[in-house]
Amino acid sequence: MVQLKNIVVVFADDQDWALGGWTPMNKTAKLVAESGAIFAHHFVNTPVCCPSRATLLSGKHFHNVRVANLSDGGCMHVDEGKVNNYTFAALLTATYNYAMAYFGKHLNQCPSRPPKGFDCATGCRWFAYGGGPDNDPGSYVNASFHDWVDGAEHPIDRYHAAPGLYEADPNGEFSGYTTSILFNKSLAWLETTASQPFGLVVGSRAPHLPATPAPWYATGTWIDDLEAPRTVSYNASKADLADHHWLIAQQPPITDDQADTIDDLFRNRWKTLLSVDDGIDELWRHLDDNTYLFITSDNGYNLGQHRLPSCKMNVYDHDIRVPLAVLGPDLRRGVLADFASAHVDLAPTILSLAVGSSATCDWCDGRDLSASLLVAGDTSSSDDDHPVLVEYYSLGNITRTEHLVDDTMSNTYRGLRFPR
């Protein structure tokens, strides 16, 4: 009989790979080197929050969870009903009696009640929000969360003025800092799950705007004097952008003042990740050797590349290439560089590692990568030429730092990203 494995997923918000977004994660990188593997070519299928999170949780491509018509709205064009009842959590709870918990940012339009998989009456916890506004308070500081325990609203107490609604404050738990709240409450929940196989998801807000560092990391760090990477495409010339799609080709140059804004954002983004690094390090120390830990991000970012000062939503590597590390038993160690992987592959891979060959996911579009990840697996099955589907539907005419970063005329696309 296969021993059921515990699953923990930690995913950041807007943490890139191509611009060094893994660099602040020194403690996590050390843990991965000792106990896991990191994927060298991991991509999101859609470079924006809600669709990417939908794909990660469900194993479905964006076009299979999209609203019927773009004018129907949805969560960045996602039909939440096609996601919330079709996740790896829903399968693990219903079929294998897992205790499941979610702490942090869910889909941007976060349901107030726990969706299937996080609503069980024994062991489940739903402590989630949509990420808050792009300013504070309410995002990194003094945020509010929907809070359900064992399928019921958390009762009124010091932090719950109404049933099922947690409200942080600066004089309360962990200085009201969201990242600290999420990881510490996750650790507390783990202490209650000893009798069941469990699944835990921690959805960090970092390093998304407003990129507010914890007070203890706001100043006096090794990051203070850094500037955003001046890559080849940073503030590229008009001639170099002439053959790109319209949104890129028409970009004005980045001014000195805008460059200062980019550098400040870059530093704060990395400082927020120091808290995520602390949280992962502590979390791993509380996990046993029957647990797999996945660490990734919902999308990458740009910081001056192609003259785009901030945001994502484009097809380039800094937007679609993200970290993916896996720690746990019986894994290949080091860097897995012989094939490309994508978020659509995570749900079937998680299910396979959790419950073995009995794992089934009728709706999953992605591939089970466990054979390429496990020491005893067949790495020849990884299919090193398998491309990644990348698709995006414009969210409108959006301006950041005086630059148009998305538009309805030219920035809807589908493409294939090959590992080579």
In DSSP notation, 188-231 reads HHHTT-TTS-EEEEEEEEEESTT----GGGSSSSTTTT------
Tell me: the pLDDT tens digits for 352-376?
999 997 788 999 999 999 999 998 8
* Beta-strand pair 144-149/125-129: antiparallel
Q: Is the residue at 344 inside a domain?
A: yes
CA dihedral (13, 17, 18, 20) positive or negative = positive
Distance between CA 338 and CA 328 in Å, rounded?
20
The CATH number given to whatever domain includes residue 144 is: 3.40.720.10
Q: Is the residue at 122 inside a domain?
A: yes
Across 257-357, where does the E strand assignment appear?
Answer: 291-297, 324-327, 334-336, 341-342
Residue 406 banded pLDDT, cuts 50, 70, 90: very high
| Residue numbers of the domain that contains 354 | 6-417
pLDDT value, residue 379: 62
Which of 49, 110, 120, 364 does the annotation list as catalytic?
Answer: 49
Distance between CA 93 and CA 88 in Å, rounded?
9
Q: Average pLDDT for residues 70-81, to the nearest whole number?
A: 90
Tell me: the pLDDT tens digits for 271-323?
999 999 999 999 999 999 999 999 999 999 999 999 999 999 999 999 999 99
Q: Which residues contact 78 (CB under 8 A, 6 or more apart)?
A: 50, 51, 54, 62, 65, 66, 67, 107
Residue 384 banded pLDDT, cuts 50, 70, 90: low
pLDDT value, residue 381: 47
pLDDT value, residue 220: 97
Q: Is the residue at 1 inside a domain?
A: no
pLDDT value, residue 380: 54
Q: Is the residue at 142 inside a domain?
A: yes
Q: How many domains does the chain have?
A: 1
Helix axes 256-285, 178-190, angle to 10 degrees: 10
pLDDT value, residue 37: 96
The pTM for the full model equals 0.97
pLDDT value, residue 385: 76
Q: Which residue has the higher pLDDT, 380 or 173?
A: 173
For this structure, is 110 an active site residue? no
